[in-house]
Structure 1
Amino acid sequence: MIYRLLYEIAIRIYGSLILLASISSEKAKNWVSGRRNWSHRLRTLRPRGELLWIHASSLGEFEMAKPILAALKQSGSRLKVVVSFFSPSGLKHFESDGLTDASFYLPLDTAANAKKLIEILNPTAVLYIKYEFWPNILQAVIDRKIPLFFAGVVFRRDQWFWTFPFNPVKPILHQCTKIMVQNHQSYQIAAINGLAYNTVLTGDMRFDRAWDIRSTPYENEFIKKFTHDRFTIIAGSSWQADEEKYFPLIEKYKQWRWIIAPHDISMENIKRIVKNLPCAPVLFTEMKNDVSDSNVLLVNTIGHLAKLYRFGKVALIGGGFGSGLHNTLEALAYGIPVCFGPKHKKFWEASELLENGLAYCYRTTENLENYLLRLQSPIDAQILSEKIIKWFYQYRNAGSKVAEILLQYLNRTTTQGA
């Protein structure tokens, strides 16, 4: 009870701080405006019929949900689907692809908002992607005895909610209908904490999504000519700290081709990169049919990186020298090896790749140089590529497994209700 009171105070302070920040921050302004009159908007957009509500904190989490939704659609399910986002950028760049019926911003997690939200939605089932916990909303779902599922979950032993006293996360996990985890280690941690009875290993939907993108045809004549018969490195979601390591190699190995896709594509950052590059790049938005003499293609727009990995021989995944590693799976789906900086501990796939010799962690330009030189051997590169695809394939079809569990439970509930 004391925790609930303290949380209610804290969440209201959080909302007030965002409101204050919206005076000067565009992101905070979008957060506030997107939630204005949220209950009226939600009543208007809620589709009729039985409803599956999916919550994804950001666009990345929704990408994980797409294979599940595709599997549900293929099964002939008549469930209507609405998706909520916490991040403004998630809803801003959201594309339904015909898989959902409506979308909205998750309101601030006060007790009053939680009650109103569940009353308006009245969902048949609720599915949270990964583990964004909003205690008031989740408790309102449980109190209404609505089936609650988590999918794509990764548990680690050092997560705060396993040891922090009186926190609401563990009780909520114990009341979930099913917790669907990505890997064996997560299942073992769940079992140690008394959750074996409602936890199941389904795999990782990100693998499905990455494979779907890989399987989608994509043609770009300029890039095909630009990379033809050249050793091509894709620097994906690159940050300045990453650039400092590989920029010297652009100057040293002029015969290599580079496709650089920065994490930040703002005009200011693109100008900074152009200024610091050892050669003038071709901008993605200014590509022409004729191949330039430049050995660098700079991607200054969003939404193309996952498709561009098919043109590479190796990928440098950004974030490993800063806040944390970005998506490696989009590159691995093509069977190309990945390398990254040392900040990868929270990403189970990175650890498993390194353990199996399928990726490389570098700290210096010299480390990176030596690894790239080894990959120029066609035979060694082919052997490594085959091993990567074999490793990748074992984690596919998670979306179908999650959808099957959802449908089995919901069909059973419907039969019992009848």
Structure 2
Amino acid sequence: MLYDLFIHLLGFLFRIASLFNAKARLWVAGRRNWRARYRSALLKLAAEKGEQSRILWVHAASLGEFEQGRPLIAAFRTRYPRWRIVLTFFSPSGFEVRKNYAHADLICYLPADTRRNACDFVEIVRPDIAVFVKYEFWSNYLHTLKDRQVPTFLVSALFRPEQPFFRWYGGFWRDMLDCFTQIFVQNTASESLLKAHGVSHVRRAGDTRVDRVLDIAAGAPENALVASFARTPEQPDIFVAGSTWESDESVLLPALSLHFSSGTAAHTWKLIIAPHEPGHAEKTARTVRQVFGFGE
């Protein structure tokens, strides 16, 4: 099957990239000898919580998707404290930041989506419920869960007409949608699009990231630096650009500079930029100083 060849090729490319890329090295190392490690960790959990405790498996691609699934995990933990929660990530960006997240019992990488890996992983974890967040569609995992009659849910999903699900060649992708017990989407447009293509097991439930943002805002500690960026009568306007890449900033910063250089805009706005990669922050700061003509 072409898909399986693609997954094997993807793993091979990650191994090649690991020779010179730190994230790729983490991706490869985190999946090494995973069967023995995951089996051992789950046996330990079973001893702590009891063999009969049930398992919720939540999968997120990276940190952003985790933040969308986080309110669900926390609420589930509160309501069902005896359940074991397994949290998997595809990307090191999520795993490395949240590998000690308190509400999950086992946090690990999702093995590459080969048929053997999917069957072995589901056999080792034996989830009673599986939850995938937003854009995670892994064919072998989804079909394995369906074959084993594991209730499987997609949450905070977004769909657009140009996605392969809705193309003439999208049968492979539409088959994955049929593997979900229920699909929870963020907006009416996604719900209507799915229903127009014969997908009836869909409900509009909103974006769980909004719940997370409200939780953060409610519990945010005092921070003098953050407070200095609060609105004031003299500077009532704030522009925030989050998770930016260099390509974004190359367009955004000159446009903002042009806007701020006219009239009184430069004196009424505050600008906050949060690069996607923390290591890129200093370079972004230098670019801001150059574009806006600030001193060091």
TM-score where L is the length of structure 2: 0.84
Task: Note if 1:44 corresponds to 2:40.
Answer: yes
CA distance in 2: counterparts of 1:67 and 1:16, whole angstroms: 35
Shift of 1:113: 0.8
> SS of the residue aligned with 2:72?
helix
CA distance in 2: counterparts of 1:44 and 1:274, whole angstroms: 52
Do 1:250 and 1:278's aligned partners in 2 also have CA atoms closer than 8 Å?
Answer: no
Task: Note if 1:8 corresponds to 2:4.
Answer: yes
CA distance in 1: counterparts of 2:217 and 2:108, whole angstroms: 29
After TM superposition, list the pairs within 5 Å mapping 1:385-404 onto structure 2.
none
Do 1:247 and 1:278's aligned partners in 2 also have CA atoms closer than 8 Å?
Answer: no
Which of residues 29, 32, 35 is equivalent to 1:33?
A: 29
- Cross-structure match for 2:250: 240
Query: Do the aligned partners of residues 271 and 166 (structure 1) sit closer, same or farther apart at CA in structure 2, a change above 3 Å counting?
Result: closer
Which of residues 14, 17, 29 is equivalent to 2:13?
A: 17
TM-score where L is the length of structure 1: 0.61
Bigger Cα displacement from structure 2, 78-87 vs 38-47: 38-47
CA distance in 2: counterparts of 1:131 and 1:107, whole angstroms: 17
Shift of 1:8: 1.4
- Cross-structure match for 1:326: none
Number of corresponding residues: 276
User: What residue identity is the alignment partner of 2:256?
Assistant: Y
- Give CA-to-partner distance per residue, 1:194-253, whole Å, 9 cap, x none: 221x22222211111111122223312344356544314233225231111112455554
> Unaligned stretches of 5+ in structure 1?
282-418
Which of residues 183, 199, 202 is equivalent to 2:202?
A: 199
Query: Do the aligned partners of residues 139 and 245 (structure 1) sit closer, same or farther apart at CA in structure 2, a change above 3 Å counting?
Result: same
- Give CA-to-partner distance per residue, 1:284-341, whole Å, 9 cap, x none: xxxxxxxxxxxxxxxxxxxxxxxxxxxxxxxxxxxxxxxxxxxxxxxxxxxxxxxxxx
> SS of the residue aligned with 1:152?
strand
Which of residues 109, 114, 138 is equivalent to 1:110?
A: 114
- Cross-structure match for 1:78: 82
Query: Do the aligned partners of residues 220 and 180 (structure 1) sit closer, same or farther apart at CA in structure 2, a change above 3 Å counting?
Result: same
- Cross-structure match for 1:274: 289
After TM superposition, list the pairs within 5 Å mapping 1:221-240 onto structure 2.
221-225=224-228, 227=230, 228-231=232-235, 232-237=237-242, 238=244, 239-240=249-250
- Cross-structure match for 1:124: 128
Which of residues 248, 257, 260 is equivalent to 2:272?
A: 260
- Cross-structure match for 1:159: 163
Task: Note if 1:146 corresponds to 2:150.
Answer: yes
CA distance in 2: counterparts of 1:222 and 1:104, whole angstroms: 34
Shift of 1:45: 2.3
User: What residue identity is the alignment partner of 2:61?
Assistant: S
- Cross-structure match for 1:409: none
CA distance in 2: counterparts of 1:243 and 1:19, whole angstroms: 36
Query: Do the aligned partners of residues 279 and 86 (structure 1) sit closer, same or farther apart at CA in structure 2, a change above 3 Å counting?
Result: same
Identity of aligned residues (%): 31
Task: Note if 1:89 corresponds to 2:89.
Answer: no
CA distance in 1: counterparts of 2:77 and 2:113, whole angstroms: 30
Shift of 1:140: 1.1
CA distance in 2: counterparts of 1:72 and 1:23, whole angstroms: 40
Shift of 1:175: 3.3
Do 1:251 and 1:278's aligned partners in 2 also have CA atoms closer than 8 Å?
Answer: no
Shift of 1:166: 6.3
Aligned-pair Cα RMSD in Å: 2.2
> Unaligned stretches of 5+ in structure 2?
47-52
Do 1:85 and 1:104's aligned partners in 2 also have CA atoms closer than 8 Å?
Answer: yes
Task: Note if 1:100 corresponds to 2:104.
Answer: yes
